[in-house]
Structure 1
Amino acid sequence: MKSTKTREKVFLASPHMSDEGYEMEYIKEAFDTNWIAPLGENVNQFEVEFATKVGSTDAAALSSGTAAIHLALKAAEVGEGDIVFCPTLTFSATANPIIYQNATPVFIDSDYETWNMCPKALEKAFEQYPEVKAVIVVHLYGLSADMDKIMELCNKHGVRVIEDAAESLGTYYKGKHTGTIGHYGAFSFNGNKIITTSGGGMLVSDNVEKVAKSRFWATQSRDQARHYQHSELGYNYRMSNVSAGIGRGQLKVLDQRVDKKREIFNFYKRELEDLEGVYFMPDNNWGEPNYWLSSMILTGKVRPQHIFEALEEENIESRPVWKPMHLQPYFEKYDFVGEGISEELFANGVCLPSDTKMTQDDLNRVVRIVKGLW
């Protein structure tokens, strides 16, 4: 076997600039006009183009997806002491902004049908905490949550819904882009996402006034005055004009990236699903996932750690499924509603390398190594 030092690294998911060089056109424009600081024409146009792409009325380009969730909570008037329901099976960036607002998270379990927020657990949570102020829904690994059931419950109780679509840009739920079904949607353009601005995010909503207010907060809440005046607490959350230029170019190849992610998922599923104890992430007929990370559950003798170690030996990245928030040292003091399905997904889950630059040889390498464990 060749040393891992001589094998080309296969990433879980990494930045992938367009072959056409779209990004450089917009970056060059920013440099040519000397407009490289935050704000500028790229920022303005990226907001318009992104909102058009996902079918939202308005959008605000921000420094991260975390910032988008934070401002969505603020727009939903979540404040000190308020309760916010949040999926437990997610990355900490979903839950952290709840703490920024001095609010209290209550973590909701997953279901096997979607790997996302379980509507039954959500209904139970509403019974226990009728005073809840907002609900954050995550579309994990590009899989859409069951939004009809979730929205029905949230509308019944009159609470704002924030969709964390950081992992699901390009995913549809019943023909509608995830992130545009609730009251607010938050997207991420981190380097590992399906498109990237190197770092950045987007807040979308049909409520134009709330988006405008979010832009205000994101620009240090600077009042309209000749001098610097601030009547509200502000944040340095706006996206730079250079990053927005990258985003405009990346948006042009989003559909290509989704096609490649789907191709990767279908290849893994075709090659590996007949192995004993292997179950791939659900693919419901009401959704069109972007397959951001191809993930599977192992219930047999081969355990996730076996796969992680075998792939790492050949310089190939893989990851566990997210560790639930209610098991995290910082968040374990907060309440959890559910039956532990998220814990089972974490204990048995594997995220296979899903980089859109993977070649067929790379995919064959992964499959050969995984099959060799059975």
Structure 2
Amino acid sequence: MGDRIYLSSPHMSDEGYEMKFVKEAFETNWIAPLGENVNEFENELADLVGSKSAAALSSGTAAIHLALRAAGVGEGDVVFCPTLTFSATANPIIYQNATPVFIDSNYETWNMCPKALEEAFRKYPQVKAVIVVHLYGLSADMDKIIELCQKNNVILIEDAAESLGTYYKGKHTGTFGDYGIFSFNGNKIITTSGGGMLVSNNEKKVAKVRFWATQSRDVARHYQHSELGYNYRMSNVVAGIGRGQLKVLDQRVQKKKNIYEYYKKELSSLPGVNFMPSNVWDNPNYWLSVVTLNGPARPFDLIEALEAENIESRPVWKPMHLQPYFNHYDYVGTDVSEKLFENGLCLPSDTKMVEKDLEKVAKVVKELW
């Protein structure tokens, strides 16, 4: 990878935990599709976060898709979704021929605004499900969101793709809703190269998700399918990488926190530089260190200056209601998400960064300021 400083790249353990499990898969010829690594990765992840069951899948997107299906979401149903998120949160709503309604963020959490959510419930009392996102590893205000979902008898799905290792009031994000999803994409805090996980305390629903994810193959000697299925299961090799990565999750969270604290120490005194919010009930994983800029330089000025030094950074997610594909769907809120997108910048937060890399990033920012 040369001397480039990355935003957030894969980081295998120094101890070689991943190769141990992958080697076992090769030696036993359990390469694909399933095997001990898949079963144990599910068990170990569920135990870690405190959920009764889990299904290892090909991506976090697949996990959201099957969570929506498990929730009974279908054609014509309304699903509330944060507007400030990656499109993978919203796309599965369309897969189910349902209708997304996008909800604004608040400045206190950068996540779904409970007041906007309450307004959306008044406007769409027939809503079938709510997807909440823990953006950049910051927990949403879950008590208020759960209260609204319970009051309206609506299924809650947590998109915790960016927040594995984040705690809300001492409990893992992804375990408050009816279903939680995690992602192990290459840029996440731990990675399997690609993959995801669905967790739930509803063991029957998780078993059904596994069934759908393996092409809905009925129990029969011949190939028989009574329901629509998907090729969504994680492979045994990929799951082996995940098992090894779980062993270093705490190390990765600590490193991400150190990166965030370094930036805050070096840059928070610059006028107009503000860091992502902190709440007493939130113990984030600091997946990415994100700032908003209201000074002499704009986010894209800084992105270009960093890129000139071979340093990767990126803007905050562009809100879904501003996206060409989604802009005809309804949006409830004000302009918070738009302002965060307009002013936000994700600084490089790669866990392989050393002191000189952090100093280099800080130097570029200070010189531009």
* TM-score in same-fold range (> 0.5): yes
Give the SS at the match of 1:204: strand
Task: Please report the TM-score for the alignment, with normalisation by the length of structure 2.
Answer: 0.99
Aligned to 2:277: 282
Aligned to 2:168: 173
Give the letter aligned to residue 352 of structure 1.
L
Give the SS at the match of 2:368: coil
- Cα distance between partner residues in 1 of 2:152 and 2:291: 35
Partner residue of 1:206 out of 194, 201, 204:
201
Question: 4+ residue stretches of structure 1 with deviation over 4 A?
Answer: none
What are structure 1's unaligned runs of at least 5 residues? Answer: none
What are structure 2's unaligned runs of at least 5 residues? Answer: none
Aligned CA-pair RMSD: 0.8
Displacement of 1:183 = 0.6
The answer to whether residue 122 in structure 2 is matched with residue 143 in structure 1 is no
Aligned to 2:359: 364
Give the letter aligned to residue 51 of structure 1.
A
- Cα distance between partner residues in 2 of 1:234 and 1:270: 51
Displacement of 1:340 = 1.1
Aligned to 1:307: 302
Identity %: 77
The answer to whether residue 327 in structure 2 is matched with residue 329 in structure 1 is no
Aligned to 2:233: 238
- Cα distance between partner residues in 1 of 2:147 and 2:348: 36
Give the letter aligned to residue 155 of structure 2.
R
Displacement of 1:70 = 0.3
Aligned to 1:350: 345
Partner residue of 1:56 out of 51, 56, 63:
51
- Cα distance between partner residues in 2 of 1:242 and 1:125: 43
Partner residue of 1:249 out of 229, 233, 244:
244
- Cα distance between partner residues in 1 of 2:161 and 2:33: 22
Task: Please report the TM-score for the alignment, with normalisation by the length of structure 1.
Answer: 0.98
Displacement of 1:264 = 0.2
Alignment of 1:3-18 (within 5 A): 8-18=3-13
Displacement of 1:300 = 1.8
Displacement of 1:38 = 1.2
- Cα distance between partner residues in 2 of 1:16 and 1:128: 45
- Cα distance between partner residues in 2 of 1:232 and 1:309: 50
The answer to whether residue 108 in structure 2 is matched with residue 121 in structure 1 is no
Aligned to 1:153: 148
The answer to whether residue 91 in structure 2 is matched with residue 96 in structure 1 is yes
- Cα distance between partner residues in 2 of 1:293 and 1:317: 12
Give per-residue Cα distances to partners, 1:213-263, cap 9 Å, x unaligned: 000000000000111000000000000000000000000000000000000
- Cα distance between partner residues in 1 of 2:346 and 2:332: 25
Partner residue of 1:296 out of 291, 295, 312:
291
Displacement of 1:301 = 2.1
Give the SS at the match of 2:54: strand
- Cα distance between partner residues in 1 of 2:188 and 2:33: 22
Give the letter aligned to residue 334 of structure 1.
Y
- Cα distance between partner residues in 2 of 1:53 and 1:135: 25
Give the SS at the match of 1:84: strand
- Cα distance between partner residues in 1 of 2:206 and 2:306: 44
Give the letter aligned to residue 44 of structure 2.
E
- Cα distance between partner residues in 2 of 1:341 and 1:87: 12
Displacement of 1:333 = 0.6
